Amino acid sequence: MEWNDCLKDGSVIKSEADKEKIQLLINASKRKIKFTNQHQINGENHEILFSVIYEGILELLHAFVMNDGYIINNHICIGYYLKEILMNKELFYIFDNCRKIRNDVIYDGQIISLELAKNGIKELNYLNEEIIRVI
């Protein structure tokens, strides 16, 4: 699947930018990222903090693509947006890797290591900085 496939199958819908909704998403994203970064990660909260920052980044990315005139209905197509529209494979690989880790936790009940969570949070913070820089 690629960006054009996402458009064809309806996973991506062309729409008008909703400035109010975009700002709400950005504000929600900031709160989640700030919350994550204000807490000391440890063996009891690492999966929670990883999931919270992932959700914050997801909200930021939804705001970003909405500002560009799209509504995206799945995380995979958000990754393709990063790779094919922004033409940034590095951000795609960071997001896609974290998406897979998050799916393992949420859908398969897998327990991730503290080190994997720390690395994921670090990568997601980098992704946040890069997206903010582009916005």
Model pLDDT for residues 29-83, shown as the tens digit of each residue? 999 999 999 999 999 999 999 999 999 999 999 999 999 999 999 999 999 999 9
- CATH of segment(s) 3-134: 1.20.120.330
Nearest to 51 by CA among 94, 91, 98, 11: 98
Domain ranges of the chain: 3-134
Count of Cβ atoms closer than 10 Å to residue 130 Cβ: 16
Computed on alpha carbons and rounded to an integer, the radius of gyration of the chain in Å comes to 15
Give the model's pLDDT for residue 1: 67
**Amino acid in position 7:** L
Quick check: helix, strand or coil at residue 70?
strand
The C-alpha atoms of residue 121 and residue 40 are separated, in whole angstroms, by: 12
Nearest to 103 by CA among 72, 86, 122, 79: 79
